[in-house]
């Protein structure tokens, strides 16, 4: 009985803490110490409502045909698991949609995922709600190019811009020229690595040096201007 | 039965890789069609369809690029009948189909495209119908015609058909999205043995325009994906993988040595286009089929019959160029 | 239906002509939020013959009805117009109120200014104008209403239940115990439905057969139940309280009254082993042409399948079965027979079918041998099933790892949009059973875990405690591609484990697909037969999803069980009891009140053309050959209006829908629009 009474003693009252209005810093925020330690922000901090953009989901939905279906996402994860490259994404397609709905605009637009997407459309075909996920990825690319939040050293966005420039100019793309430009802009050493392959392709007649072009180049530019106005 | 109502000449949209990495596809396509008595007329002054790059910049402009091609096709074929436009590159096929849908659905996009086309003196009545050559071979030319043309049945050759992505996704106008069989049936028709394998619709990683490892977009990803395909096809006993996409075909053939080193697994899988396989079975000259343009190609079959026999067969059919 | 309130009419009110009371309801904000009620009341008071014009927040409430009754009692009004919701909602309420006030209930007309005006018009001014027009129409019409009495129609005492699963069985027993005679019609050769296939039921893990077979036995033994198995309904005619149902009995080629279910004939069949697909065992085993679906089949009578029996195919068989039968019960000359019975009410309990997993090739059903559906695994688990209760792969070995995939065919825009309600629970149950029988590692792949019933969440807890692995992610596909050495020789399930944020590839030996619940494939044919409707997804439509879940819009036809929507056994039995209760209410009362809208023929106008006679679907029109005049038997007439529409001389008229009344209504609307 004595032992029991001891355990049932009333605990000492801790003082009630003062209510704070500042956000509580995450314990994982390590201060920068030492010479070479790079400060890395923790991925999953709490998000305060002020950091989120409630209109982002609607913005994306407007950009894409049938885009409003993204509101019906049940987060089942089929898109991520059927995606052949989701392992290479920082945010899987499912997570990207969830963050879009939550309004995490910054995270979503800085994500490499839309640029890793290979446009295979497997997610779109398998989604039980028929959400046009691939088109949403394209829309995110468009916005990230406009707002310059795309990954700078990644080949794909650079390639996209080169490609578009070439078509605007000549109406057709020449693979050899595009590849050349890309090597020089992003990774010149790769040129050396692939020299053997390139020579073989050239000998087989699969690399044309002549620049492909349509005749009515001006007309094409008129068309592009007309549809954007 | 009424007289031949199937057209014998088709408007052909080659696409930007037709003369480049996918040259063998274009050559063999022309060869096979002509051998069967059908002709391909390249759409004059066609422009790039925009592939997957342009939608990443501007969706409306992407539609407009493809729409110009469809409008040109309609322009060149006056009348009220539908105009079939064949696109062999699946990227172009998808982009053009998307434009066909946009032009054919009443709404703001259709109106916008109409105005833009009008600005360059073109218009679309929605007559253009984007088709894929495999669709034409299977459903218009027909398996019977193809079987007739076979002079060297590829008996015992095990063929894995690789469909890739954009032929059946997101639009599937002539085949099943999960279990396509159109190419397999063509393979069967030329006497070869189609191999059933689970990865026939899994992406090869090639849509990072012109091959990931080549331009360094995502070399690791492309290598992994394409390697998985090659390995699985090999496991199922395939002698050769045939495909219909220039990028896929290149990914499959171009890096087998690197993959062997990287994954510690020697590979030697022949990779080519379905039309090349068909052409060989029809006894068409290998040069015309662009066989020499492939990096890895060999078939375990007897050598081709004498050229004389080939000419005779072609002449007997009554169509095409017998040279 | 108007309830009987013992109304005794006074003399038809003609003194002073019609004095109409108009009552406009606010219905809270449902009407008042869009329509300017005060303006409508003001407007109504200006209409001819309107003596009183009032408004109230909720006319259907007691004080609301009291307004009407008081005005009637005070003699201020002798006709009533209520402008409120739809007649389907409260016509009966206000007719009753009119009756309570001492007037014939048919001196009442309703103007629907909620469903037809405030709920469908965007602009407030337009809505008010339309409400005024509709009130004007009702006012003009009701002035012409004639004195009518509500009619009674007798309800026959016998009841039919279509479908012998747990729903049909329970409903039949409840009604039979109440002393009613019940016909239980079942299409298969035995009652029991899907429940007879299960091994154990959730959440109690009761043995399905142990709780079902006593009820099946009770049905068989019950003096008040006529059990017709291997039978189906081929024709329904008549009307609530008086249906004539034609039932077809298919031949078993065995006399039901003689067969004792000894099963010697099956043993004696010249097929030494089963050779034909056993449907009850979901195709996992083979049966002989002569068979009984399962040991406790009720009635315990064998069936001969003419599609596979040699005697029927070739005519050459020693017929060892006949020899083996000590009761001489065989009759290979049997043909289809028919029965026609008259019943007062019908309960449809036709059940469901499972989703065809072959429609999803990505899950490998039919492609890979060790991909099973949940129903197939129930048969494996069942001691009376093809493997005697052992869960094995197709080659007979025991699985070490099993994957259970939820939501197959459900919650999917490409297949069925709805959630099938029972699959999460039965998948947890299968996880438990498989783990218990085989000791295998079990993985459940789900999108959401739906366990809302009594004891269900606790059941989920129990399964979690047993160490079943839960992966929250919808499975993208099942493949036999081995991407790593551990996957060789296994089936691989690919899904994103959304809770940890990684895509996982899990090699398993056996895949179980939790297929969803769908309407029966012939649901459309059945609903046409019984004159009810189906919803967009194909399940039968109940009268009201919340307040009338067992009745339909066809009076006298009720629903029970999964044919109305996916549900588990507790809810099915509850619904079956509810349907039985509503049927008993109808049958015990003994009569239904019918609309007074019968047709009658004006002798002077009738030209004797006989057009109406042949058209009447109820054969209610008699023709006097001597006088050459037609007349309607108002007891039999159901007020369908066909004769009225067809009569070329306008001699046939319908109470409550006379030409004058209809034209008055039209004029009322047009005058103010």
Question: What pLDDT is stored for residue B297 in this prediction?
Answer: 87
C110 with C187, same domain? Answer: no
Shortest CA distance from A82: residue in chain B:
B202
Residues of B in contact with A124 (CB under 8 A): 169-170
Mean pLDDT in residue range B218-233: 86
Mean pLDDT in residue range C63-92: 93
Mean pLDDT in residue range A202-228: 88
B189 with B289, same domain? Answer: yes
For residues B186 and B192, give the distance between their C-alpha atoms in angstroms, rounded to a whole number.
Answer: 9
Reported confidence tier of residue A40, pLDDT bands at 50, 70, 90:
low
Mean pLDDT in residue range B31-53: 93
Residues of chain B above pLDDT 90, percent: 66
CATH code for position C435: 3.50.50.60
By mean pLDDT, which of B97-101, B216-220, C103-107, C151-155 is the weakest? B216-220
Reported confidence tier of residue C14, pLDDT bands at 50, 70, 90:
low
For residues A193 and A188, give the distance between their C-alpha atoms in angstroms, rounded to a whole number.
Answer: 9
Question: What pLDDT is stored for residue A2 in this prediction?
Answer: 33
Residues of B in contact with A190 (CB under 8 A): 215-216
Task: List, for residues C18-39, the tens digit of each pLDDT value.
Answer: 999 999 999 999 999 999 999 9
Answer whether residue C185 is part of any domain.
yes
Answer whether residue C660 is part of any domain.
no
Cα–Cα nearest to C21, from C90, C86, C97, C93: C97
Nearest to B214 among A145, A179, A212 (CB): A179
Mean pLDDT in residue range C337-363: 97
pTM of full prediction above 0.80: yes
Question: What pLDDT is stored for residue A13 in this prediction?
Answer: 44
Residues of C in contact with B198 (CB under 8 A): 479-481
Mutation choice for A interface testing from C360, C449, C503, C516 by most A CBs within 10 A: C503
Instruction: Indicate if the pLDDT at residue C232 is higher than 90.
Output: yes
What element of type H or E holds C169?
helix C166-177
By mean pLDDT, which of A18-22, C340-344, C370-374 is the weakest? A18-22
Instruction: Indicate if the pLDDT at residue B4 is higher than 90.
Output: no
Instruction: Indicate if the pLDDT at residue C182 is higher than 90.
Output: yes
Task: List, for residues A136-146, the tens digit of each pLDDT value.
Answer: 999 999 999 99
C179 with C293, same domain? Answer: no
Q: B51 lies in which domain range? A: 43-131
Question: What pLDDT is stored for residue A39 in this prediction?
Answer: 56
Answer whether residue C575 is part of any domain.
yes
Residues of chain A above pLDDT 70, percent: 80
Q: Using the beta-carbon criterion (under 8 Å), do B45 and A178 form an inter-chain contact?
A: no
Tell me whether A75 touches chain C (CB under 8 Å).
Answer: yes
Shortest CA distance from C482: residue in chain B:
B232
Mean pLDDT in residue range C256-279: 93
Mutation choice for A interface testing from C475, C498, C502, C506 by most A CBs within 10 A: C498
B–C interface: beta-carbon pairs under 8 A: 11
Instruction: Indicate if the pLDDT at residue C410 is higher than 50.
Output: yes
C583 with C443, same domain? Answer: no
C399 with C479, same domain? Answer: yes
Query: What are the distances in angstroms from CA C30 to CA B128, C24, C85, C88, C116?
Result: 52, 12, 9, 17, 12
Q: Which of C566, C588, C610 is the last residue of a domain?
A: C588
B211 with B113, same domain? Answer: no
C132 with C109, same domain? Answer: yes
Q: Using the beta-carbon criterion (under 8 Å), do A164 and B53 form an inter-chain contact?
A: yes
Shortest CA distance from B223: residue in chain A:
A85
Q: Which of C540, C566, C588 is the last residue of a domain?
A: C588
Q: Using the beta-carbon criterion (under 8 Å), do C361 and B228 form an inter-chain contact?
A: no
CATH code for position B210: 3.40.50.11810
B251 with B117, same domain? Answer: no
Residues of C in contact with B199 (CB under 8 A): 481
Residues of C in contact with A86 (CB under 8 A): 496, 503
Residues of B in contact with A141 (CB under 8 A): 56-57
By mean pLDDT, which of A179-183, B189-193, C60-64 is the weakest? A179-183
Higher pLDDT, A21 or A167: A167
Residues of A in contact with B225 (CB under 8 A): 84-85
C139 with C40, same domain? Answer: yes
Answer whether residue C258 is part of any domain.
no
Question: What pLDDT is stored for residue B1 in this prediction?
Answer: 40
Tell me whether C447 touches chain A (CB under 8 Å).
Answer: yes
Tell me whether C480 touches chain B (CB under 8 Å).
Answer: yes
Task: List, for residues C570-592, the tens digit of each pLDDT value.
Answer: 999 999 999 999 999 999 999 98
By mean pLDDT, which of A146-155, B107-116, C53-62, C413-422 is the weakest? A146-155
- Beta-carbon contacts of B279 under 8 Å, excluding residues fewer than 6 positions away, are B28, B31, B32, B35, B288, B289
Question: What pLDDT is stored for residue C597 in this prediction?
Answer: 87
C362 with C494, same domain? Answer: yes
Answer whether residue B94 is part of any domain.
yes
Q: Which of B131, B164, B182 is the last residue of a domain?
A: B131
B195 with B272, same domain? Answer: yes
Residues of A in contact with C501 (CB under 8 A): 92, 95
Q: Using the beta-carbon criterion (under 8 Å), do C476 and A87 form an inter-chain contact?
A: no
Task: Please report, to the nearest 10 degrees, the dihedral formed by the alpha carbons of residues B78, B81, B82, B87 taken in order.
Answer: -50
Task: Please report, to the nearest 10 degrees, the dihedral formed by the alpha carbons of residues C414, C419, C425, C431 taken in order.
Answer: 10
Answer whether residue B2 is part of any domain.
no
Answer whether residue B27 is part of any domain.
no
For residues C543 and C65, give the distance between their C-alpha atoms in angstroms, rounded to a whole number.
Answer: 25
Q: Is the peptide bond before B111 cis (omega within 30 degrees of 0)?
A: no
Side-chain half-sphere exposure of C82, counting CA atoms within 13 A = 34
Mean pLDDT in residue range A34-49: 60
Q: Which of C518, C542, C562 is the last residue of a domain?
A: C518
CA-based Rg of chain B, rounded to a whole angstrom?
20
Exposed/middle/buried for C594, CB within 10 Å: 0-12, 13-18, 19+?
Answer: buried
Residues of B in contact with A204 (CB under 8 A): 292-295
For residues C561 and B246, give the distance between their C-alpha atoms in angstroms, rounded to a whole number.
Answer: 56
Tell me whether C483 touches chain B (CB under 8 Å).
Answer: yes
C188 with C237, same domain? Answer: yes
B265 with B195, same domain? Answer: yes
Nearest to C361 among B179, B228, B232 (CB): B179
Question: What pLDDT is stored for residue C146 in this prediction?
Answer: 87
Mean pLDDT in residue range C315-321: 93
How many domains is chain C built from? Answer: 5
Which residues of B lie inside 8 Å of C (Cβ-Cβ)?
176, 178-179, 198-199, 228, 232
| Residues facing residue C479 across a β-bridge | C492
- Beta-carbon contacts of C349 under 8 Å, excluding residues fewer than 6 positions away, are C161, C162, C163, C164, C165, C167, C168, C171, C559, C560, C561, C563, C576, C579
In the block, residue with structure tokens 């898109």:
A79
How close, in Å, is residue B153 to chain A by CA atoms? Answer: 28
B79 with B198, same domain? Answer: no
Question: What pLDDT is stored for residue A26 in this prediction?
Answer: 31
Higher pLDDT, A11 or C191: C191
C342 with C448, same domain? Answer: no
Question: What pLDDT is stored for residue A38 in this prediction?
Answer: 54
* Helix B59-76 × helix B108-119 angle, to 10°: 60
Mean pLDDT in residue range C604-627: 90
Q: Where in chain A is the domain with CATH 1.10.1060.10?
A: 48-150
Sheet with C159-162: strands ordered across: C225-228, C182-185, C159-162, C345-348, C557-559
Answer whether residue C243 is part of any domain.
yes
Q: C88 lies in which domain range? A: 20-149
Reported confidence tier of residue C15, pLDDT bands at 50, 70, 90:
low
How close, in Å, is residue C480 to chain B by CA atoms? Answer: 7
Question: What pLDDT is stored for residue C626 in this prediction?
Answer: 92
Reported confidence tier of residue C13, pLDDT bands at 50, 70, 90:
low
By mean pLDDT, which of A44-48, C492-496, C659-663 is the weakest? A44-48
Question: What pLDDT is stored for residue A24 in this prediction?
Answer: 30
ipTM of this complex: 0.86
CATH code for position C640: 3.30.70.20
Higher pLDDT, C174 or C1: C174
- Beta-carbon contacts of C338 under 8 Å, excluding residues fewer than 6 positions away, are C234, C246, C247, C248, C249
Shortest CA distance from C502: residue in chain A:
A87
Answer whether residue C132 is part of any domain.
yes
In the block, residue with structure tokens 């060790």:
C370
Instruction: Indicate if the pLDDT at residue C3 is higher than 50.
Output: no
Answer whether residue B5 is part of any domain.
no
C345 with C205, same domain? Answer: yes
Q: Using the beta-carbon criterion (under 8 Å), do B178 and C480 form an inter-chain contact?
A: no
Reported confidence tier of residue C8, pLDDT bands at 50, 70, 90:
very low
Question: What pLDDT is stored for residue B267 in this prediction?
Answer: 86
Residues of C in contact with A126 (CB under 8 A): 362, 476
User: Phi and psi for C524 in degrees, rounded to 5?
Assistant: -65, -40
How many domains is chain B built from? Answer: 2
Q: Using the beta-carbon criterion (under 8 Å), do A125 and B220 form an inter-chain contact?
A: no
C138 with C229, same domain? Answer: no
Q: Which of B67, B99, B131 is the last residue of a domain?
A: B131
Task: Report helix, strand or coil for C54.
Answer: strand
Mean pLDDT in residue range C293-306: 95
In the block, residue with structure tokens 């990914």:
B251
Nearest to A214 among B45, B113, B206 (CB): B45
How close, in Å, is residue B122 to chain C by CA atoms? Answer: 38
Q: Using the beta-carbon criterion (under 8 Å), do A154 and B23 form an inter-chain contact?
A: no
Mean pLDDT in residue range B110-133: 94
B235 with B184, same domain? Answer: yes
Residues of A in contact with C411 (CB under 8 A): 74, 128
Instruction: Please give the mean pLDDT across all residues of chain C.
Output: 93
* DSSP string covering B264-322: T-----EEEEHHHHHHHHTT--TTTTTGGG-SS---SSPPPPPHHHHHHHHHHHT-S--
Answer whether residue C81 is part of any domain.
yes
Answer whether residue B30 is part of any domain.
no
For residues C99 and C92, give the distance between their C-alpha atoms in angstroms, rounded to a whole number.
Answer: 10
Q: Using the beta-carbon criterion (under 8 Å), do B198 and C483 form an inter-chain contact?
A: no
B156 with B302, same domain? Answer: yes
Tell me whether C317 touches chain A (CB under 8 Å).
Answer: no
Q: Where are the beta strands (DSSP E) in chain B?
A: 9-13, 39-42, 83-87, 128-131, 158-162, 193-195, 240-243, 270-273
Residues of A in contact with C475 (CB under 8 A): 78, 81
Cβ pair C509, C370 in contact under 8 A: yes
Instruction: Indicate if the pLDDT at residue A186 is higher than 50.
Output: yes
Tell me whether A77 touches chain C (CB under 8 Å).
Answer: yes
CATH of domain A48-150: 1.10.1060.10
Q: Using the beta-carbon criterion (under 8 Å), do B228 and C481 form an inter-chain contact?
A: yes
Q: Which of B69, B99, B131 is the last residue of a domain?
A: B131
Nearest to C474 among A77, A83, A86 (CB): A77
Where is mean pLDDT largest: B229-233, B256-260, C556-560, C612-616?
A: C556-560
Shortest CA distance from B254: residue in chain A:
A197
Instruction: Indicate if the pLDDT at residue A59 is higher than 60.
Output: yes
Instruction: Indicate if the pLDDT at residue C83 is higher than 90.
Output: yes
Q: Using the beta-carbon criterion (under 8 Å), do B293 and A205 form an inter-chain contact?
A: yes
Tell me whether A68 touches chain C (CB under 8 Å).
Answer: no
Taking a contact as any Cβ pair under 8 Å apart, which residues of chain B between 195 and 224 contact chain A?
A: 201-203, 205-210, 213-218, 220-221
| Residues facing residue B271 across a β-bridge | B241
Q: Using the beta-carbon criterion (under 8 Å), do C480 and B198 form an inter-chain contact?
A: yes
């Amino acid at each position: 009985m004595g032992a029991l009474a001891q355990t049932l003693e009333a605990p000492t009252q801790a003082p009630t803490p003062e209510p704070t209005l500042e956000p509580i810093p995450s314990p994982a925020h390590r201060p920068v110490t030492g010479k070479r330690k790079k400060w890395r922000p923790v991925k999953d901090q709490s998000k305060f409502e002020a950091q989120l953009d409630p209109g982002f989901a609607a913005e994306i939905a407007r950009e894409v045909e049938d885009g409003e279906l993204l509101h019906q996402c049940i987060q089942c994860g089929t898109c991520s698991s059927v995606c052949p490259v989701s392992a290479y994404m920082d945010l899987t397609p499912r997570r990207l949609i969830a963050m879009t709905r939550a309004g995490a605009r910054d995270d979503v637009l800085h994500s490499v995922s839309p640029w890793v997407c290979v446009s295979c459309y497997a997610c779109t075909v398998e989604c039980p709600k028929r959400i046009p996920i691939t088109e949403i990825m394209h829309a995110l690319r468009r916005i990230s190019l406009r707002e310059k939040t795309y990954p700078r050293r990644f080949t794909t966005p650079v390639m996209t811009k080169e490609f578009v420039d070439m078509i605007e100019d000549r109406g057709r793309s020449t693979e050899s020229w595009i590849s050349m430009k890309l090597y020089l802009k992003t990774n010149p050493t790769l040129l050396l690595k692939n020299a053997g392959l390139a020579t073989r392709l050239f000998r087989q007649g699969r690399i044309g040096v002549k620049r492909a072009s349509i005749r009515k180049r001006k007309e094409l530019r008129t068309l592009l201007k007309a549809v954007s106005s | 039965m009424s007289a031949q109502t199937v057209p014998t000449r088709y408007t052909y949209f080659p696409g930007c890789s037709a003369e480049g990495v996918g040259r063998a596809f274009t050559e063999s396509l022309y060869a096979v069609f002509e051998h069967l008595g059908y002709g391909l007329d390249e759409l004059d002054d066609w422009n790039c369809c925009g592939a997957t790059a342009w939608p990443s910049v501007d969706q409306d402009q992407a539609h407009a690029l493809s729409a110009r091609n469809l409008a040109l096709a309609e322009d060149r074929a006056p009348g009220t009948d539908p105009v079939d436009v064949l696109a062999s590159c699946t990227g172009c096929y998808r982009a053009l189909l998307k434009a066909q849908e946009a032009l054919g659905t009443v709404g703001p996009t259709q109106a916008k495209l109409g105005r833009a086309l009008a600005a360059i003196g073109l218009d679309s009545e929605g007559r253009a119908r984007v088709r894929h050559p495999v669709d034409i071979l299977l459903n218009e030319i027909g398996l019977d015609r193809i079987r007739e043309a076979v002079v060297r049945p590829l008996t015992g050759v095990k063929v894995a058909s690789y469909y890739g992505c954009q032929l059946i996704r997101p639009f599937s106008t002539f085949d099943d999205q999960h279990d396509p069989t159109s190419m397999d049936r063509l393979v069967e028709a030329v006497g070869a043995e189609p191999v059933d394998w689970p990865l026939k619709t899994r992406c090869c990683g090639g849509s990072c325009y012109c091959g990931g490892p080549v331009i360094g977009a995502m070399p690791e990803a492309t290598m992994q994906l394409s390697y998985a395909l090659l390995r699985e096809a090999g496991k199922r006993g395939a002698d050769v993988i045939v495909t219909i996409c220039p990028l896929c075909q290149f990914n499959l053939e171009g890096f087998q040595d690197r993959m062997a080193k990287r994954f510690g697994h020697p590979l030697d899988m022949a990779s080519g286009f379905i039309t090349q396989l068909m052409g060989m079975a029809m006894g068409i000259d290998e040069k015309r089929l662009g066989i020499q343009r492939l990096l890895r190609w060999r078939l375990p079959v007897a050598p081709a019959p004498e050229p004389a026999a080939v000419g005779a067969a072609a002449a007997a059919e009554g169509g095409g160029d017998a040279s | 239906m108007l309830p009987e309130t013992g109304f005794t009419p006074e003399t038809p009110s003609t003194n002073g002509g019609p004095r109409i009371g108009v009552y406009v309801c606010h219905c809270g904000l449902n009407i008042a939020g869009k329509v300017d009620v005060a303006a409508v009341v003001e407007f109504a008071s200006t209409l001819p013959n309107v003596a009183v014009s009032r408004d109230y927040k909720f006319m259907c409430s007691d004080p609301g009805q009291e307004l009407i009754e008081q005005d009637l009692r005070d003699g201020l009004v002798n006709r009533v117009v209520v402008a409120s919701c739809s007649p389907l909602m409260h016509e009966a309420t206000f007719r009753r109120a009119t009756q309570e006030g001492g007037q014939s209930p048919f001196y009442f007309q309703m103007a629907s200014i909620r469903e037809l005006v405030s709920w469908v018009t965007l602009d407030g001014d337009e809505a008010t104008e339309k409400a005024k027009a509709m009130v004007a129409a009702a006012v003009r019409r009701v002035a012409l209403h004639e004195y009518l009495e509500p009619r009674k129609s007798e309800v026959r005492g016998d009841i039919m239940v279509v479908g012998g699963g747990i729903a049909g069985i329970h409903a039949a027993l409840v009604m039979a115990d109440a002393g009613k005679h019940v016909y239980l019609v079942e299409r298969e050769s035995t009652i029991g439905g899907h429940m007879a296939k299960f091994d154990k039921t959730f959440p109690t893990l009761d043995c399905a057969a142990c709780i079902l077979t006593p009820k099946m036995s009770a049905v068989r033994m019950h003096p008040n139940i006529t059990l017709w198995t291997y039978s189906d309904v081929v024709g329904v005619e008549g009307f609530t309280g008086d249906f004539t149902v034609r039932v077809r009995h298919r031949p078993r080629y065995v006399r039901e009254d003689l067969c004792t279910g000894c099963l010697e004939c099956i043993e004696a069949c010249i097929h030494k082993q089963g050779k034909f697909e056993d449907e009850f065992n979901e195709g996992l085993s083979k049966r002989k042409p002569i068979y009984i679906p399962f040991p406790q089949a009720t009635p315990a009578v064998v069936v001969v399948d003419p599609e596979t029996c040699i005697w029927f195919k070739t005519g050459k068989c020693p017929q060892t079965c006949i020899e083996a039968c000590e009761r001489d019960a065989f009759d290979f000359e049997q043909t289809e027979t028919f029965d026609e019975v008259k019943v007062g009410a019908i309960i449809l309990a036709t059940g469901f079918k499972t989703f065809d997993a072959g429609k999803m090739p990505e899950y490998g059903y039919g492609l890979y041998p060790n991909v099973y559906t949940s129903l197939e695994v129930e048969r494996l688990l069942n001691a009376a099933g093809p493997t005697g209760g052992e869960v094995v792969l197709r080659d007979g070995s025991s699985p070490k790892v099993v994957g259970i995939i939820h939501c197959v065919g459900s919650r999917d825009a490409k297949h069925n949009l709805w959630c099938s309600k029972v699959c999460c629970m039965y998948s947890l149950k299968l996880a438990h059973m498989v783990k218990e029988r085989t000791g295998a590692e079990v993985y459940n792949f789900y999108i959401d875990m739906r366990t809302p019933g009594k004891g269900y969440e606790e059941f989920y807890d129990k399964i979690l405690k047993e160490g079943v692995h839960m992966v929250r992610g919808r499975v993208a596909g099942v493949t036999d591609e081995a991407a790593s050495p551990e996957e060789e020789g296994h089936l691989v399930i690919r899904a994103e484990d959304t809770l940890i944020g990684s895509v996982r590839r899990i090699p398993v030996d056996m895949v179980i697909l939790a297929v969803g619940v769908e309407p029966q494939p012939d649901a459309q044919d059945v609903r046409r037969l019984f004159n009810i409707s189906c919803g967009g997804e194909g399940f039968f439509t109940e009268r009201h999803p919340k307040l009338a879940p067992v009745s339909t819009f066809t009076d006298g036809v009720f629903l029970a069980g999964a044919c109305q929507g996916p549900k588990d056994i507790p809810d099915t039995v509850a619904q079956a009891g509810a349907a039985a209760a509503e049927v008993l209410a109808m049958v015990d009362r003994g009569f239904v009140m019918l609309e007074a809208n019968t047709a009658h023929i004006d002798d002077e106008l009738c030209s004797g053309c006989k057009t109406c006679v042949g058209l009447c679907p109820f054969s209610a029109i008699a023709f006097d050959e001597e006088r050459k005049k037609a007349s309607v038997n108002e007891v039999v007439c159901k007020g369908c209006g066909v004769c009225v529409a067809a009569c070329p001389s306008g001699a046939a008229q319908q109470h409550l829908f006379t030409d004058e009344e209809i034209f008055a209504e039209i004029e009322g609307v047009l005058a103010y629009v």
